[in-house]
Structure 1
């Protein structure tokens, strides 16, 4: 019988105060009530401003709507002050919050509300129309927080949560066709928050840029860490990723900390290289996570005279409170670092690396300690499969990640893959079975298979399907866009007469054909510029060989060019032709194809 090998990596044991987030925020209100807590376009809020509005809303939630201790409350917004006020008010009365990205399709929002048991949906008035038929009472944050009537409750007391009380629920991809709610406990999040503040040495003069989705697990600590240290949060409130506006914000607001995915930060680096990264000089810490970090792409910035920032690579699943391990890039070794490790456990977290003794190769990661969450909401079987106890230590609860690592000679962990069909794309966790299960509900889709492919170190989704009713690829894409988040809609969709099957009767994904190239076009009159743009596109697109056959009128989204890749392409064109695109041109719909880009370049050169 095989025996298991176990390697245990333990983060430092550190005792932290159990004082709640809201109480620590209120301490900062008392220390400097007039200091700016939140900055956004055209307005700012002091610590006292925020507290006043939090008290108004928490009073209404508790006494007007009868939200009780331990309830889960859905809150939908983009990156606006109302979201931060909303979550603080929810936590103040001992409830848990469930962040919902405003860009989610209505069907997904409705499922999350029903599955979580949320009695209400908190949201700004401007989102009222999109949430008219969700099935619960809509409560408009901005209407409540602007009611001075509630100022009589400025002394509304904060309820201290129990150690195992829920902090938030974040829905992640699930294999059944529906997302599953991962439950994170208050004390687990406080452990993360305290480590984050200590490791980055956050203090009152820090300014944290918040430009990720509110429903992203890595976003949560960037709301609270500044507010309990007396620092400031700067909100990037535009829906579209705009590298120029973000760069200006970093420079004008002296941003010191950014936490995002590598694919979101890389365009910022590329855009600022032409100015020797002068807009980024205020950065002291850049914390990246959610996907692989290619250090070579960041060397021009790291080696520049303007860079005085630390660079971190972080690792951790949503079920274990965002970060379980980290690696701080050693500036002295960055030029010889072939692969960036995920590092070592954070404080009070344990990582068990387990494999069968006779098996060569990588280890599977199990996580224990303070970061382990409370399982999945209303999914006891899924919880039992992932949250387990080792036979030789029945009192130690571990989360089985399904991630595979190797161990370096200096004791760091390196991520090498998965044991299943779960992937991370642009930081979002995706189980391809969820997409396949969802498509199985469509009356006219007989069978489907989703593959994750990689090109130019960028992962993307490809869908193959067969239809009994001549369902077009465009119709399939529109159907998915209406029901799934943008990051789960495949970049390439291919219809086949019949999907290949193996001898077990299952889809043989290894036998699926290569993606088809587009028809060869005729050359346009602006041949020289067009060929240059094609060369630039080849550098960034996932299938560079298809650029040679790209029709100049074909939508670039068909090549899997999302908003972040599109920005990188425009930045390269600006450098090549010494021109500058207007802000409104930085959205893919503005210049949707090769012809429109070439025409714009020609017009700018006249």
Structure 2
């Protein structure tokens, strides 16, 4: 039974404004006294009570206080997100110093600039970041490893003279000079910001808050202090490390009550939630850091309590939160973008024109914030500070901050966001100065000019587009630019599109015309010139075929087929047309290594009809561990395994087994037993000793099962047998072998009917009509296709452009599956089962395998459908599970 989650009904103690006139450490210590054994923080590796977290922080503070020259000074924290980072934050604050958070995942040069600009002389690290920190410090900085702190050091609260005016932190954001800029904030402002959010969100000691942000950005401040200055519990979760796939289970397991992220993270998370999953504990969703599309709101209601509410708002590193908008199921929103919201305590919003005069209500002006509780300068940037911050002469301690955002106020004081005044944008919750990316691009020796702009893609989501000109006029490979930028800026600042131009459009006064620039055709995803010059005849043919098959114009000869939206079916169509032009059979597996027009054209020209055919295809040969062999699906080719091969990384070499007959010269194999024997011979020739780690998706899983049996019969050691959402073959012969399955036709029919009935009652009421409609269509389709050959012919007719030899391979696989007489296997198998079963009938949770795997079946649920578990982002979770299973076997 869950409590009433309505924000209006929560009785929370008010965070009194008088409590902002103290130090952050003092407020935290008061919470420790009130909730000594209450859970303070828990990550995947550790958890701390308030007392334990306080004692850990006290020891860090004691180490810092031993350095007499470290008084109210910046201290860099260089740790991965988690409990240690947060304990270190409080340790720095307790010592009377202020912290400068750094993310080890950010580029070396950027982190180096932050250290230098902050003036810090000391870095706090742990064992995991020691090596990186030593390189950053370059012998000039003192480094303290918190993992080696002497445990005999005092755990008592230190006595430090810290006033509300003393700095708490410097957080760095993207800077207009091309370098990140620091924003210092004092203790009073941090506490006041925490007070504003606490009183609006009604945070209590019963709450359990997420922290999905890097500790180096402002979003982390909201989570850390919103929880730990209120006696609540904080749960950091590293999305970059663990992905979105595990977030659902984690939210349920930890009984999270307050979820906070940028809306784009939530937008990508919602689609992979299991169909009927509910999060009854979550009472509050908070979206911050970027504009919130209304579709994010509508997506949320399906999985949360009817009392759950959503908060959006406006805030910045300079000001903290200045506006909030509360949404429940009855809230009406007229536009597709959720408003910024209504006023919060002690934060006055003014809309000013170019002369700093108020604009009339209903007109657009620059959003300016007036308050005593905001930053008053940028760190070491006096000229920029004068432009952005202004001391209000007639009011003591009042600061006016010019945000650069545009907005308008409605008649009831609701603030609506209207974009950016300058060149600063927010993408996926990160504030980005476009000029920082531009300057980084222009460091490339071949780039003459560069401009970065924001354009909306087909889904109306903003993305970064880089326009550039080369010094010589020659094409600059986009892969070179992307690789170059990766060491200059964080990943979230990498442009999605690159467009090379001969010159930039200009305004009458000679400045670059950014509006005209964003109207330039960006059909070419990588910005290469569209000229056909230098292309061979075959490359020209392939280019035209790609344009047609992919529906994309302006493709470059260096574009990757799969990055342009290609998949295995489109590859089959594309190669069929290439074969017609070239009069050569082209193995589909060549697209693993020849996936650009230039590479494909080269291999087509060099293909010899006499080349020996091999079912074994090396997809990724790097890695010292035993290979993973993955067998084709019913189509015979292995291109659909490309995302899995990439996600498995370089730990295990990846080899695919493609079907005989794909080259159009050999006869396909028509039984699973023959296929397994043939693949076993090629595998043993490649890897005589084993052990063997094998798998396959759907039909390929059945072949892998048979292959495992044949390997065992030859005395070979079999490790992992990975069946990727593969069910047993429900023929009469196989049913007779299974103890749990009935063999006569009547009982089998009754059993199927019972599954339909159970599925119907398990379906939500709102979806029952759709369920019945879908079942009727399925019955009609099965009746129509009762004859297998007729069904297959209709399937071929639907696919149309697939070459006859590929159709033959698929027909052979269908026949092999239909005839397969399964025999018990004396080993263990791992079934990676798709969570989303759609309207499929589920006969057994293990899809029937417990009847045939005498060594047992380990079922691992994977987010996604039968096909999407092999696609991003679900395939990342699948790959991690496969690696874990192999590691368990090896250990």
Is the TM-score greater than 0.5? yes
Equivalent of residue 79 in structure 1, options 75, 78, 81: 81
**Conserved? CA contact 1:428–1:487, under 8 Å:** yes
> Max radius of gyration: which structure?
2
1:230-379 equivalences under 5 Å are 230-237=231-238, 239-240=240-241, 242-272=243-273, 274-278=274-278, 280-302=279-301, 306-320=305-319, 322-334=320-332, 339-355=337-353, 361-379=363-381
Taking the aligned partners of 1:583 and 1:91, their CA distance within structure 2 comes to 47
Taking the aligned partners of 2:269 and 2:259, their CA distance within structure 1 comes to 11
Match of residue 539 from structure 1: none
**Conserved? CA contact 2:372–2:397, under 8 Å:** no
SS in 1 for 2:147: helix
Deviations along 1:96-124, one digit per CA (max 9) or x if unpaired, are: 11111121000000000000001112122
Match of residue 506 from structure 1: 511
Match of residue 141 from structure 2: 137
1:449-488 equivalences under 5 Å are 449-455=451-457, 456-468=459-471, 470=474, 471-488=476-493
Taking the aligned partners of 1:241 and 1:128, their CA distance within structure 2 comes to 22
Match of residue 408 from structure 1: 410
| 1:415 CA displacement | 0.6
Taking the aligned partners of 2:394 and 2:22, their CA distance within structure 1 comes to 34
Equivalent of residue 578 in structure 1, options 862, 865, 884: 865
Taking the aligned partners of 1:520 and 1:241, their CA distance within structure 2 comes to 41
| 1:93 CA displacement | 1.2
Taking the aligned partners of 2:523 and 2:248, their CA distance within structure 1 comes to 38
| 1:409 CA displacement | 2.7
Aligned pair 1:28/2:35, yes or no? no
Taking the aligned partners of 1:394 and 1:60, their CA distance within structure 2 comes to 39
| 1:328 CA displacement | 0.9
Equivalent of residue 516 in structure 1, options 523, 529, 534: 523
Match of residue 169 from structure 1: 170
Runs of 4+ residues deviating >6 angstroms: 357-360, 391-395, 548-551, 571-577, 580-585, 587-592
Equivalent of residue 497 in structure 2, options 492, 497, 503: 492
Equivalent of residue 68 in structure 1, options 62, 67, 70: 70
Q: Of Structure 1 and Structure 2, which has the larger fraction of its residues in strand? A: 1
Match of residue 114 from structure 1: 116
**Conserved? CA contact 2:245–2:877, under 8 Å:** no
Match of residue 192 from structure 2: 191
Equivalent of residue 51 in structure 2, options 9, 27, 48: 48
Moved more, 202-211 or 81-90: 202-211
SS in 2 for 1:259: strand
Listed as ranges, the gaps of 5+ residues in structure 1 are 1-11, 535-544, 556-565, 593-606
Match of residue 595 from structure 1: none
Q: Which has the higher relative contact order, 1 or 2, with Cα contacts under 8 A spaced 6 or more apart?
A: 1
From the superposition, tell whether residues 275 and 138 of structure 1 become closer, same or farther in structure 2 (CA, over 3 Å): farther
| 1:293 CA displacement | 1.1
| 1:206 CA displacement | 1.0
Taking the aligned partners of 2:838 and 2:382, their CA distance within structure 1 comes to 54
Equivalent of residue 60 in structure 2, options 57, 61, 68: 57
SS in 2 for 1:244: coil
| 1:75 CA displacement | 0.9
Taking the aligned partners of 2:500 and 2:566, their CA distance within structure 1 comes to 23
| 1:52 CA displacement | 1.8
From the superposition, tell whether residues 49 and 426 of structure 1 become closer, same or farther in structure 2 (CA, over 3 Å): same
From the superposition, tell whether residues 310 and 138 of structure 1 become closer, same or farther in structure 2 (CA, over 3 Å): farther
| 1:186 CA displacement | 1.1
| 1:28 CA displacement | 2.7
SS in 2 for 1:22: helix
Match of residue 227 from structure 1: 228
Q: When the two structures are aligned, how many residues end up with a matched partner?
A: 545
Deviations along 1:31-89, one digit per CA (max 9) or x if unpaired, are: 333322111114322222212211111111120x4463321111122221110111000
Deviations along 1:482-518, one digit per CA (max 9) or x if unpaired, are: 1111111111112233333444333333444311346
Taking the aligned partners of 1:399 and 1:572, their CA distance within structure 2 comes to 50
Taking the aligned partners of 1:388 and 1:44, their CA distance within structure 2 comes to 44
| 1:297 CA displacement | 3.1
Aligned pair 1:430/2:432, yes or no? yes
Root-mean-square deviation (CA), in Å? 3.5
Deviations along 1:306-341, one digit per CA (max 9) or x if unpaired, are: 343220012112111x21111111432246665421
Taking the aligned partners of 1:358 and 1:27, their CA distance within structure 2 comes to 45
**Conserved? CA contact 1:404–1:415, under 8 Å:** yes
Taking the aligned partners of 1:188 and 1:457, their CA distance within structure 2 comes to 36
Taking the aligned partners of 1:310 and 1:215, their CA distance within structure 2 comes to 28
From the superposition, tell whether residues 141 and 382 of structure 1 become closer, same or farther in structure 2 (CA, over 3 Å): same
**Conserved? CA contact 2:125–2:145, under 8 Å:** yes
Taking the aligned partners of 1:77 and 1:216, their CA distance within structure 2 comes to 14
1:143-182 equivalences under 5 Å are 143-145=147-149, 147-150=150-153, 153-182=154-183
**Conserved? CA contact 1:14–1:347, under 8 Å:** no
